């Protein structure tokens, strides 16, 4: 019989994570204050030479069509406030790590809905991501009230004025303000945020409770119950994840819309979540945990990352291609801001990190089975998808003032260490895998 395994979240590991967190805060502060003094490029010239050339506050549009949504800017975006860059970056991380948290629960639910047996040994790792949900919620809603005006153009009341308002945004007012009038409290938007997180969290708690119960009782009764809970969760998740993407990311570029956006964001979260799961599995195995996980399970997770890398690219291209081909100005403006000019290097880097690199490296069977290669690919993919969200949020909030420096790096470190701290802490509370899982035998004999 398989014996129980418990992850021990050692003091040393906690200390390391806290040091990283502190380093992140210091870097963020450094980035913020050096930026405030006007020379924010000086500090990170070596880390991001591509942008150092084109970046700068004073060099406003070059006039090649990337005129930062001229009409949209209105009177609200007078001069550039350095704090906006901090807010925008916090928002990127809120969305990215909040998405990772729920995608972990999604992975867990999919395993039950699909009656998958191979994953019995690793399922609790993505499930632990869900512990970040309450924190993500608090950060997100607080950030919305603190920095809503800086991040979301549609929150400005003047847009909804009878005279001289913005016709397009007025048409979308109900999506944010219903049942109130445009420009009042965005009750529908905030309500959705609250409901999504509340329902996600309830499902997460329920699945976690059942998972532990399953472990103690054994048998298949709990398993069947979890399957139905998972199925209901998946239905809710399908709708809510799409709407969350529209709310939290797409509404930044209020005039623009894309019908692929929900899928696109889901794909980005999903690949990042799979890569992070795989990375944690490999790390735990290195530390001597997860004795029941072998190369075949790692291979399967690697195939997941490889396959959904292609899926992400497919969705990304489907969105890009139609807009590119149709050439309607209202739609192309979104890609003009990203593809040409200031963000062009990030645009290409995004494709390289999220498609070409994992696609070519993970193509062979061997690379998906060897921890050494996966240890490089997984962090790259996770960072690549962070960059994907960076590219979605930054042009709409910061225009040509966006950059990648100490501030961005610091905040990634802060969020990543905090996220890992919460996830590992949650992982340590229960055995790493359910020794009475009805499909554990199948997982043990998994061979591909």
Partner 1 sequence: MSQGTNYVLGVYEDEDVLMDAIKEVREKGVKIEEVYSPFPVHGIEDALGYKRSWLSVAAFMFGITGTSLALTMQIGMMGVDWPMIIGGKDFVPIPSFIPVTFEMTVLLAAFGMVGTFFGVSNLKPWGRPRIYDIRITDDKHVMAIDLDKNDLNEAEIKKIVDGSGASEVNNKTFE
Q: Lay out the site mask for partner 1 across 263-302 (x = CB under 8 A, - = otherwise).
A: ----------------------------------------
Shortest approach of partner 1 to residue 327 CB, angstroms?
Answer: 5
Which CB, 142 or 363, lies closer to partner 1?
363
83 touching partner 1, by CB under 8 A: no
- What does the radius of gyration of the chain's CA atoms come to, in whole angstroms? 22
Token digits of residue 384: 């690549």
Count other C-beta atoms under 10 Å from residue 426's C-beta: 19
Listed ranges 231-239, 282-290, 324-332, 380-388: which one lies at the site for partner 1 (CB under 8 A): 324-332
Q: Measured from the CB of residue 332, what is the shortest distance to partner 1 in angstroms?
A: 10
Spatial CB neighbours of 447, under 8 Å, sequence gap ≥ 6: 296
Contact 23, 29 (CB under 8 A): no
How far apart (Å, rounded) are the C-alpha atoms in residues 175 and 178? 6
Q: How far apart, in whole angstroms, are the C-alpha atoms of residue 423 and residue 215?
A: 20
Q: Decide if residue 320 touches partner 1 (CB under 8 A).
A: yes
Least Å from the CB of residue 294 to partner 1: 14
Q: What is the DSSP string of 99-132?
A: HHHHHHHHHHHHHHHTT--GGGGTTHHHHHHGGG
Q: How many CB atoms lie within 10 A of CB 7?
A: 22
Phi, psi of 99 (to 5 degrees): -65, -40
Polymer length in residues for the chain = 448
User: Is 433 among the residues that bind partner 1 (CB under 8 A)?
Assistant: no
Instruction: Yes or no: say if 327 and 42 are a contact pair by the CB < 8 Å rule.
Output: no
Phi, psi of 6 (to 5 degrees): -120, 135
Shortest Å, Cβ 258 to partner 1: 16
Of residues 323 and 424, the one with the C-beta less far from partner 1: 323
Give the distance, in angstroms, between the CA of residue 196 and the centroid of all CA atoms in the same chain.
16
Minimum distance from CB of 262 to partner 1 (Å)? 22
Nearest distance in Å: CB 312, partner 1: 15
Tell me if 329 contacts partner 1 by CB under 8 A. no
Candidates 112-120, 256-264, 271-279, 314-322; binding stretch for partner 1 (CB under 8 A): 314-322
Min CB(158)–partner 1 separation in Å: 35
Q: Which of 80, 178, 246, 317 binds partner 1 (CB under 8 A)?
A: 317
Which listed range, 79-87, 286-294, 319-327, 401-409, lies at the site for partner 1 (CB under 8 A)?
319-327
Q: List residues binding partner 1 (CB under 8 A).
A: 317, 320-321, 324-325, 327, 363, 365, 447
């Amino acid at each position: 019989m398989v014996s129980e395994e418990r992850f021990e979240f050692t003091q040393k590991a906690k200390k390391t994570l806290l040091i990283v967190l502190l380093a992140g805060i210091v870097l963020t502060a450094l980035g913020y204050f050096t930026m405030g003094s006007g020379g924010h490029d000086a500090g990170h010239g070596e880390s991001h030479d591509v942008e150092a050339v084109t970046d700068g506050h004073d060099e406003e549009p070059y006039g090649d069509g990337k005129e930062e949504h001229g009409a949209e800017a209105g009177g609200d975006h007078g001069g550039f406030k350095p704090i906006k860059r901090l807010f925008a970056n916090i928002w990127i991380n809120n969305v990215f790590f909040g998405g990772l948290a729920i995608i972990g629960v999604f992975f867990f639910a999919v395993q039950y809905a699909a009656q998958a047996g191979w994953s019995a040994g690793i399922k609790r790792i993505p499930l632990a991501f869900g512990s970040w949900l309450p924190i993500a919620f608090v950060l997100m809603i607080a950030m919305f009230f603190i920095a809503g005006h800086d991040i979301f153009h549609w929150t400005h009341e003047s847009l909804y004025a009878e005279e001289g308002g913005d016709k397009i945004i007025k048409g979308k007012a109900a999506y944010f303000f219903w049942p109130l009038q445009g420009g009042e409290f965005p009750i529908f938007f905030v309500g959705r945020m609250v409901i999504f997180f509340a329902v996600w969290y309830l499902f997460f708690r329920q699945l976690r409770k059942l998972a532990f119960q399953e472990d103690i009782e054994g048998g298949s009764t709990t398993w069947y119950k979890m399957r139905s809970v998972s199925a209901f969760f998946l239905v809710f998740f399908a709708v809510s994840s799409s709407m969350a993407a529209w709310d939290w990311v797409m509404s930044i570029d209020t005039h623009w819309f894309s019908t692929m956006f929900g899928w696109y964001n889901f794909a980005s979260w999903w690949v990042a979540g799979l890569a992070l799961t795989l990375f944690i599995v490999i790390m735990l195995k290195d530390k001597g945990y997860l004795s029941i996980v072998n190369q075949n399970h790692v291979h399967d997770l690697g195939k997941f990352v490889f396959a959904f890398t292609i899926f992400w690219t497919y969705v990304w291209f489907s969105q890009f291609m139609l807009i590119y081909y149709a050439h309607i100005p209202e739609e192309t403006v979104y890609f003009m801001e990203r593809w040409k000019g200031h963000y062009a290097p990030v645009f290409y880097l995004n494709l390289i990190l999220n498609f070409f690199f994992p696609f070519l490296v993970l193509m062979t069977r061997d690379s998906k089975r060897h921890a050494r290669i996966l240890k490089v690919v997984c962090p790259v993919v996770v960072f690549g998808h962070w960059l994907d969200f960076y590219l979605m949020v930054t042009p709409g909030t910061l225009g040509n003032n966006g950059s990648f420096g100490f501030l961005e790096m610091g905040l990634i470190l802060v969020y990543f260490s905090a996220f890992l701290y919460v996830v590992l802490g949650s992982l340590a509370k229960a055995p790493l895998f359910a020794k009475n899982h009805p499909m554990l035998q199948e997982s043990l004999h998994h061979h591909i």
